[in-house]
A and B are shown apart, each in its own frame.
Chain A
C-alpha cells in the first residue's frame, strides 16, 4: 500500500460510510435521487443521508410525507422514467405499508415487461434488534429474498456499507439495502470487523461473500450485525481450541453458496446464525443449498441459530434470550465442538 493510498483510508462509522457513498454517487450521476421520511433536513434518523440536502437541493433529496406506498411507487415510476431513485423506508418493519409496490411493481416489472423495462432502484431501510420491541426490530431479509426479483443486501463492515451502497445504486436491478440499526449507531472504533474505508468512491460487488476469519473447525455463516457478534464469539472460543471460519454473506440474493460450500466441505461443520426469524428462512435455505451441492451426508454437523418464531419482546431480559448474540453464538459453537 502506497503512502498516498494510506492517507485516503479512514476509520469512519457505518452511517457516515452510507452517507458518503450516497454523496459521491449523487455527484457522479445526476440521475440519482433520494427520497423518504426525514432524509433531507434531518439527514436521516440515523444520519445516513447527512449533508445531502445542502449539496443537492430538495428536488434530489426529497423529504416526503408519511405516504410510504405512494412514494415507493413514485420510486418505481422514477426508475422507469430514467432516474435512479434511492427510496428510504425508515424502518424495515414499515414495509407492510408499501409491500404492494415493492413486490408487485418494483420486483416484477422487469420480468412482466419481458426484459424491456429496467428497475434501477434501491430501497434503503434499517432493521435489527436494539431493544426496540416487536414493531421496530425485525430484519425481514428472508421475506424479500422469498419474493422473486429483488437483490437483498445487508452489509456488516463500514467499508462494505460504502462499497455495497455504491454497487446497489449503480445496479440496473432493484436492490433492498438493509442496514442494521445497531451498526448505524456504533462508533467506528468499536467495530471488530474493522477495515479502513477509502475516501474515494468504490464498488463492492453484490453477491460475493467475505471470509472474515479463517479457521478449520466450524464454518459459521451469517451477515449484518451478527458478523460482529460472531467475531466476538469466535475470539472467545479460539482460546479453547475451537477454530472458527467466519463468512459474511453480504447479500442473500444473490447468495454465494460456492464460498459457503467450500468452507463447509473443509470443516465438516456448518452453523448458520441469523437475526431474522427461524422458520422458512435463511438458515434452512443455506443448509439445503450446501447439501444439494455437497451431498446429503457430506457434513458431520448442521446447526441453525436464529430468532425463534416469536415477535420481539420489549424487555431486554426477554430479547436477549431470543436474539443471537456473542454469548449464545459461543455456546452453540462449544456444543458443536463437544459433540464430535
Chain B
C-alpha cells in the first residue's frame, strides 16, 4: 500500500484538533455528561479512514469522535451534536456519546460491550445480501471481558460474517488495569479460540496501524470471516474530561505520553525522512484554525426548541 505521509499526518492532526476544540465546551458547561476524547489514539482513526468505504459499517463506543470522522461523518454536524445543537447530526438528542449517521453507516453506543452486537447485525446483512462490505465493531480492552465479546466473535466465526473486531487496548478500563483482570498478555491471542484471524499492532505507530488494519479488513472483506485487531495505545487524558485520574502514576503518564503519542512519533519519523518542519507546523496550525472557526460558527447555532422534546420517540405514522 502506498501511503501519502502528509495526508496521514494531517488526518491525525485534524482528529486531535477536533477533540481539543470539543474540550473547550467542558468548562463552559456547553457539553454535559462525560466527554471522552481520543487524544493519543488518533493513529487508529487515521488507519481506519484509509481502508473503509462508504458502505462499510462502523459501530463505535463512548469514545467515538475520531471513528466517526474516519468514517466520513461530516465534522460540523458531529461537533454541533457534541455541543447539543439543533443543527447537530441528531438534532441535539444524542450528544457526544450517541452520534448516528445512517448515510455513512456509522453509529455508537455509550454502553461498554454493546457495540459489537450491533456491528454483527450489519455484518449479517452484508453476508445475507452477498455484499463486499465489512462491519467494524470497536471496543476497548474493558469490553473484551464482557460477555458480548465472546458471543459476537463466536457467532461471527460460526456463520462466516464479515466482522472486524477492533480492540483499542489502552490498558485501563477507567481505573482497572487490564493486567489485573486478565491472565493473558493481550487480546489478539483469543482469536484462535473462535476460529478468527487475529493480529496485534502498536496502535501509536500510524503506518503500522494502517498496514495492520488494511490486512484484517482485506482478510474479512474477501470472505475469510471475522478478524480481531488489537491496537495497543495509551489514553493521554482522563477517562473523561474532569476525571481526577489518580489511579495512574504521574511518572507513568509522563513517560507514556512521551513514548506513545502517535502524532509526535510520526512527526519525528517524517522529519527524519526529510519532511520540512515548517510544512508540518503549518498543517497543525491549519487544523487548529479550522476547528476553532468551526466551533465559533457552531456556537451561534440554536439549541433544540423545547417544544420538540417529545419528537422522534416513534417513527411518524404515515
Contact = CB atoms under 8 A, between A and B. Distances in A.
Contacts of B315: 110, 115, 118-119, 171-173
B100 A73 contact: no
A110 B114 contact: no
A110 B155 contact: no
B314 A110 contact: yes
Given A78-B125, A79-B121, A148-B313, A116 B155 contact: no
A295 interface: no
A6 interface: no
Contact of A74 (B88, B100, B124): B124
B312 interface: yes
Interface stretch (B3-11, B146-154, B192-200, B209-217): B146-154
Contacts of B100: 109, 112-113, 116-117
B312 A77 contact: no
A149 B313 CA distance: 6
A112 B92 CA distance: 8
Q: Name which of B117, B124, B128 has the most chain A CB atoms within 10 A of its CB.
A: B117
Interface residues of B, number: 47
B117 A76 contact: yes
Nearest to B314: A173
B253 interface: no
A104 B102 contact: no
A70 interface: yes
Contacts of B122: 77-78, 80-81
B93 A111 contact: yes
A74 B155 contact: yes
Given A149-B313, A173-B314, A71 B147 contact: no
Contacts of A83: 121, 124-125, 128
A67 B154 contact: yes
A256 B269 CA distance: 68
Q: Which among B101, B102, B105, B118 has the highest number of chain A CB atoms within 10 Å?
A: B118
Contacts of B316: 115
Interface in B27-65: 57, 59
B105 to A, nearest CB: 8
A151 B315 CA distance: 11
B279 interface: no
Nearest to A171: B315
Nearest to A150: B314
A112 B90 CA distance: 7
Interface string B110-142: 110010111111111111100000010000000
B109 A59 contact: no
B237 interface: no
Nearest to A64: B155
A70 B312 contact: no
Contacts of B109: 104-105
B91 interface: yes
A75 B128 CA distance: 13
A241 interface: no
Contacts of A75: 121
Nearest to A76: B118
B93 A76 contact: no
B98 interface: yes
Contacts of B154: 65, 67
Contacts of A67: 147, 151-152, 154-155
Interface in A136-195: 148-149, 151, 171-173
B94 interface: yes
Nearest to A254: B314
Interface in B268-302: none
Contact of A100 (B111, B119, B152, B314): B111
B158 interface: yes
A81 B117 contact: no
Given A65-B154, A65-B158, A82-B125, A70 B117 contact: yes
Contacts of A21: none
Contacts of A101: 114, 117-118
Contact of B125 (A73, A81, A100, A112): A81
Given A64-B155, A73-B120, A111 B312 contact: yes
Nearest to A148: B313
A70 B118 CA distance: 8
B149 to A, nearest CB: 9
B316 to A, nearest CB: 8
Contacts of B152: 67, 70, 74
B169 interface: no
A114 B308 CA distance: 10
A25 B8 CA distance: 48
B144 interface: no
Nearest to A67: B151
Interface string A67-110: 10111111111111111010000000000000011001100011
A213 interface: no
B117 A77 contact: yes
Contacts of A62: 159
B121 A74 contact: yes
B125 A70 contact: no
Interface in A205-243: none
A96 to B, nearest CB: 13
B107 interface: yes
9 contacts: A60-B128, A62-B159, A73-B117, A76-B121, A81-B57, A101-B117, A113-B102, A151-B314, A173-B314
Interface of B: 57, 59, 88-94, 98, 100-102, 105, 107, 109-111, 114, 116-128, 135, 147-148, 151-152, 154-155, 158-159, 311-316
